[in-house]
Structure 1
Amino acid sequence: MTAPQEARRTSPGPPPQDYGERARLLADAARTIGAPGLVIALSHRARRTYRLDAGARPGDAPRYELGSASKPFTGLLLAALVAAGRVRYEDPAAELLAPGHPVHPAVRAITLRHLITHTSGLPALPADFYPQALPRWSTAPYSRYPADRLVRAFLRARPRHRPGTRWHYSNFAVSVLGHTLAAATGTPWETLLQQEVLDPLGLHGTRLRPGPPAGDAVGHRRDGTPLPALDVGGFLAAGAVRATPPDLLTFLEAHLPAAAAPTPSLTAAFADVRRPLLRRGLGHAHTHTLTWFRHPSPRGPVCFHAGATLGQQMFLGFRPDTGTAVAAMCTRRVHRTDPFIATMHALLTEKL
């Protein structure tokens, strides 16, 4: 890998910090992880530093599959639509999705807020997902589970817990949210996200479907075998986003309190998604915002979300109190014991 590169945004911000220290931190993180195709993008007080493959430039970097790190985009979309008065957090999802359709009482009680905060009582995936996915588990498990099937699974669901009582991570729930927002507004989720989030933030390198092979990063198995592009089927809102490293830094920088949002609805939305909302984890030591994990650290709270597809890994995080953001990605899904996430989380807590 080459030495880290520094890039200044149009608005340079405060006087620069020690670039050599930032470069050292990124180099140390890269050596700790050792994953193929690793990119680390750091922003501190509007100054950007990149760790890229040899000879690469930030503007030429491909789009990476975000996997579950797509969820903060869907959460921000929900918050923007609420701020614009188009939906409410407490709207019952089933009534927006299929008015008058008979559903279980617990399903009737599930709100948009429950879906995005993983407190709906729904499982991680629909019960009938696994039999159809197993034959394609290592290549395209989501591809043959379309939107209409996912909606039907929600309408006939029997939640495990009463909505709002327990936290349980659910791709199913966030995907239902995407289809519910589309039904409530009469606009496809992809179009909504483009109009309300991607275009206003200038995320012109971000896509919601696979693009030309030359523009998308290729994921790999642990043995180096390349994998096909991710097809998420009906689970768009939970994992469809693909983005470049500069776009991801722009997205994260927009979450920082000092940033100026381009629209009034996004100004309110960013405030909503930064706000602690519920407690979870051992001893309830960790909080969760509308869409971000929020962990304490000696230098202030860290907001982050990770994601993985069959052949790629992603970490997004920011520190509201220090104006710091980190996006990291690699082209191999790392093992549970791999230090990728822990290293990126620790990088955010460094004193810059």
Structure 2
Amino acid sequence: MKPIRSLVFIVFGLFASLNMSAQNLRLQKTDSVLTLVKEHFKLKDADGIYALTGANFRKALSMAAFRDVCSEQLFPLGEIKKDSLLSFVNNKTATYKLQFDAVTMQLLMNLDQDDKIELFLFQPYKDESATKLEQVATSNSLKSAIDKKINAEARKYIQKVNTVGLSIGIIKDGKVSTYNYGETTRGNKRLPTTNTIFEIGSITKTFTSTLLAYYVNEGKISLTDPITKFLPDSVARNPELKNITLLNLSNHTSGLPSLPDNFSAQRPYNKLNPYKNYNKQLLFAYLKKCTLNSRPGEQYAYSNLAAGLLGTILEQVGGKSFEQLVWEIICSPLQMKSTVQHLTPMISTRFTTVYDDNGQQTPAWDFDALAPAGSLRSTVNDLLLYAKANMTKSDSKLSKAFELTHQITFNTDTKLGLAWHIIEVNGVSYYFHNGGTYGSSSFLAYNIEKNIAVIILSNASPSTDVLGVSILKQLQ
């Protein structure tokens, strides 16, 4: 089968289905569109499907080209006999398993702000149920009842053929427990430890918003400051930007897309290391001419671009690089000595090898202008310190910054503080963020009143969200 042409966006920090009511509303709309797609598919009505698409899709694929795709590649698959949801990520992209007459495919689909199809991508179905033949090594002693429960849940993830290593950290009633599984590099027989360094992807955004809160408390900036206050005049002149505030960048209500449309203009552009050369010059060039997808403050739309821009502004406010600000304001006071953007020779040997969705080795990601959106690497030990500090009030400036990040700033269809998403698991609310690169997955959630926190770090791409939620359920 020829490759199917489609509109594809690179995103990271992906959200699996976590019983969020807002997510359910968005998913219901996507499911409704799928129902219409199936009706038109049955009639072999390419124009009817195309009528469901939005402006971005149509820019990428004309009606004539879409008709060709349908007649040559899609309609010959036969009738859609059965469909089922595999995942719903980033409160936007649904992946469906579609069973045709003679083949099973998966469809990635999301909607734009007008509930029109933006992404419509058919792929061969990936069966992720295959498991390793031997039991993966672990540090779990299996002594207590909770040890055994954690092991039962962790095995569902780490025994998959496309996963490699896993580190888990738990706080429950003031007690800290850690568990490690698998290998730091496939075949090296070395278990991860609590000091093994992983990519943490979009959990980085919570650090960026902590810096924002810190400077707000210091009186250096305000959440309601317009971003144009901090941008070069040539950029600030774009009238589309005038109503975006720092708060909007932090809670994903800016109206900016997930990524700028000149993202692939970086030179060189490496699709396996896609953020490496996207610099400030390209960022500002985009902002000079950009248009928004929605009015600031009105709609939640997860944006790596917005988080990266927020960090760029904070670098200007603090007069130092993002990594330096993270170290001085957050990591140094908390003794988080292994949380960095750039690995030094001294700690680089503790960094894992990373693996893609198919279990194949892939490059770790590097960042330039969008570093504040997902560039940090860390350990379970460090993130346990981070979670505990978020859960413990004190008179320190950093603690007060954490408190500000917990205040609800948006609650229309998704509940957020500053970067933190608030999710419910069996009726219990958690501050939550996850992360995902092409070779890593991470999960962090905590409830202050119940004194529960769960950190999960994996050196493979398959999401750890289901595992994280399962462990939260065991701890409640």
TM-score range, shorter chain: 0.7 to 0.9
304 and 186 in structure 1: CA distance in 2 versus 1, 3 angstrom threshold: same
Offset at 1:56? 4.3
Give the equivalent residue in structure 2 for 1:27. 151
Give the equivalent residue in structure 2 for 1:164. 297
SS of the aligned residue for 1:329 comes to strand
Equivalent in 243, 251, 262 of residue 386 of structure 2: 251
Offset at 1:198? 1.2
Offset at 1:349? 3.4
Offset at 1:104? 2.5
Q: Is the 8 A contact 1:97 1:183 kept in 2?
A: no
Distance in 2 between residues matched to 1:135 and 1:236, nearest whole Å: 16
Q: Is the 8 A contact 1:118 1:168 kept in 2?
A: yes
SS of the aligned residue for 2:181 comes to coil
Offset at 1:47? 1.5
38 and 150 in structure 1: CA distance in 2 versus 1, 3 angstrom threshold: same
Q: Is the 8 A contact 2:211 2:314 kept in 1?
A: no
Equivalent in 135, 140, 150 of residue 4 of structure 1: 140
Q: For 1:87-126, what aligned pairs fall within 5 Å after superposition?
A: 87-99=221-233, 101-126=235-260
Distance in 2 between residues matched to 1:197 and 1:108, nearest whole Å: 31
- Deviations for 1:105-151, whole angstroms, at most 9, x for unmatched residues? 230111110001100000000011135589622x2111121123213
Q: Is the 8 A contact 2:167 2:193 kept in 1?
A: no
Give the equivalent residue in structure 2 for 1:13. none
Any unmatched runs of 5+ in structure 1?
Answer: 7-18
Offset at 1:297? 3.2
SS of the aligned residue for 1:95 comes to helix
* Greater Cα shift, 271-280 or 104-113: 271-280
AA aligned opposite 1:195: E
Any unmatched runs of 5+ in structure 2?
Answer: 1-136, 183-189
Give the equivalent residue in structure 2 for 1:78. 212
Q: Is the 8 A contact 1:227 1:311 kept in 2?
A: yes
Give the equivalent residue in structure 1 for 2:196. 62
Equivalent in 425, 450, 472 of residue 297 of structure 1: 425
Offset at 1:100? 7.0
SS of the aligned residue for 2:390 comes to coil
Instruction: Give structure 1 regions of 4+ aligned residues with deviation exceeding 6 angstroms.
Output: none
SS of the aligned residue for 2:456 comes to strand
Q: Is the 8 A contact 1:302 1:349 kept in 2?
A: no
Give the equivalent residue in structure 2 for 1:194. 327
Does the alignment pair 1:273 with 2:405?
yes
Does the alignment pair 1:221 with 2:356?
yes
Offset at 1:68? 1.1
Q: Is the 8 A contact 1:93 1:112 kept in 2?
A: yes
AA aligned opposite 1:206: T
AA aligned opposite 2:326: L
The structure number with the bigger radius of gyration is: 2
Does the alignment pair 1:233 with 2:368?
yes
- Deviations for 1:142-191, whole angstroms, at most 9, x for unmatched residues? 11211232133224321121111111100000000011111223222222
SS of the aligned residue for 2:455 comes to strand
Offset at 1:318? 0.7
Distance in 2 between residues matched to 1:287 and 1:81, nearest whole Å: 23
152 and 43 in structure 1: CA distance in 2 versus 1, 3 angstrom threshold: same
- Deviations for 1:223-272, whole angstroms, at most 9, x for unmatched residues? 4432223112221100111001100111111111xx244x6322221211
133 and 124 in structure 1: CA distance in 2 versus 1, 3 angstrom threshold: farther
157 and 134 in structure 1: CA distance in 2 versus 1, 3 angstrom threshold: same
How many pairs align? 327
Distance in 2 between residues matched to 1:134 and 1:148, nearest whole Å: 14
Distance in 1 between residues matched to 2:317 and 2:164, nearest whole Å: 42
Equivalent in 434, 441, 451 of residue 313 of structure 1: 441
Higher RCO, 1 or 2 (CA under 8 Å, sep at least 6)? 1
Offset at 1:193? 1.6
101 and 312 in structure 1: CA distance in 2 versus 1, 3 angstrom threshold: closer
Offset at 1:99? 4.9
Q: Is the 8 A contact 2:256 2:293 kept in 1?
A: yes
Distance in 1 between residues matched to 2:444 and 2:339, nearest whole Å: 15
Give the equivalent residue in structure 1 for 2:317. 184
* Greater Cα shift, 243-252 or 216-225: 216-225
What is the TM-score normalised by the length of structure 2? 0.64
SS of the aligned residue for 2:425 comes to coil
Q: Is the 8 A contact 1:106 1:162 kept in 2?
A: no
AA aligned opposite 1:25: K
Distance in 2 between residues matched to 1:238 and 1:223, nearest whole Å: 25
AA aligned opposite 1:273: T
Distance in 2 between residues matched to 1:191 and 1:132, nearest whole Å: 25
Distance in 2 between residues matched to 1:303 and 1:346, nearest whole Å: 16
145 and 30 in structure 1: CA distance in 2 versus 1, 3 angstrom threshold: same
Distance in 2 between residues matched to 1:37 and 1:58, nearest whole Å: 10
Distance in 1 between residues matched to 2:397 and 2:232, nearest whole Å: 27
Give the equivalent residue in structure 2 for 1:12. none
Offset at 1:277? 2.2
SS of the aligned residue for 2:418 comes to coil
Offset at 1:85? 1.3
